[in-house]
Amino acid sequence: MDWATEAAAGLLGALFGYWFPSQQHRCYREAAFREAPARGARLFALRAFAMPAGALAAALAFRPGQPGGLASALTAAFCLLLVAVSSTDFDRRRIPNVLVYPGILAAVAAAPYWSDRSIGSIAAGGAAALAAAVLLLLLGALAGAAARSRETAFGLGDAKLILLIGLLTGWPAVLSALLLGIIAAGIVAAILIVLRGRGATYSYGPYLAAGAVVVLLWFERFDTLGG
């Protein structure tokens, strides 16, 4: 791979980041959301996130030292999917099934084609992610009950996203991905509590996705945790 490939991948990532926010309203199930595409300042803010995030992730997937070929293409594609999921969660606090379910199926189909993780590792990562998602759902429900609130930071969409992350990163790298995401979300939550009080709400998915992107792009540094 050379700089031209990396630059081309970054350009495609930026174009995706420009295009997707204008179309993401089509992904929502709620009619009110589907009929209200992002415009003006809202669209600008979503693009301000998605364009640099998409460009950087796609370019890094093809940087020197990466495996190249199909493995780098898969890394870039799944990173862009995680950028898309983050954009919808920032926008409407939704992780649409139309994104995450095909992503899960694609992750399963891609399992034999990774050059640096085995099918067994991916299956174990998915199982660990499913267990973590169930645990976090239970903890979220308990926290909501204690606060007498029906709304919690962690929902079913986040649980599906965690399963996707486990199938992408495998075992034991999934632990690093989730830990990074939880730490990032915790920092944001602490800042919002200071600024807005204990009733502040925020999107959890983008931080889980960020942890997954870091591990996908630097997989070799995270695939031996606990090994």
Specify the length of the chain in residues. Answer: 227
Residue 41 tokens read as: 């300042």
What integer pLDDT is reported at residue 226 of this predicted model?
46
What integer pLDDT is reported at residue 227 of this predicted model?
46
What integer pLDDT is reported at residue 155 of this predicted model?
80
What is the pLDDT tens value at each position of the chain, 227 positions in all?
Answer: 588 899 999 999 999 999 999 999 999 999 999 999 999 999 999 999 999 999 999 999 999 888 778 999 999 999 999 999 999 999 999 999 999 999 999 999 999 999 888 999 999 999 999 999 998 888 867 765 555 555 555 688 899 999 999 999 999 999 999 999 999 988 987 887 777 766 566 788 999 999 999 999 998 767 665 44
Name the DSSP class of 155.
-
What integer pLDDT is reported at residue 66 of this predicted model?
83
For 186-202, b where at least 16 C-beta lie within 10 A, e where not — what string? eebbeeeeeeeeeeeeb
C-alpha span between 170 and 119 (Å, rounded)? 8
C-alpha span between 223 and 172 (Å, rounded)? 6
**pLDDT tens figures, 135-147:** 888 886 776 555 5
What integer pLDDT is reported at residue 142 of this predicted model?
73
C-alpha span between 105 and 169 (Å, rounded)? 14
**Which residue in 129, 90, 93 sits closest to 108, CA to CA?**
129
**pLDDT tens figures, 62-96:** 998 887 789 999 999 999 999 999 999 999 999 99
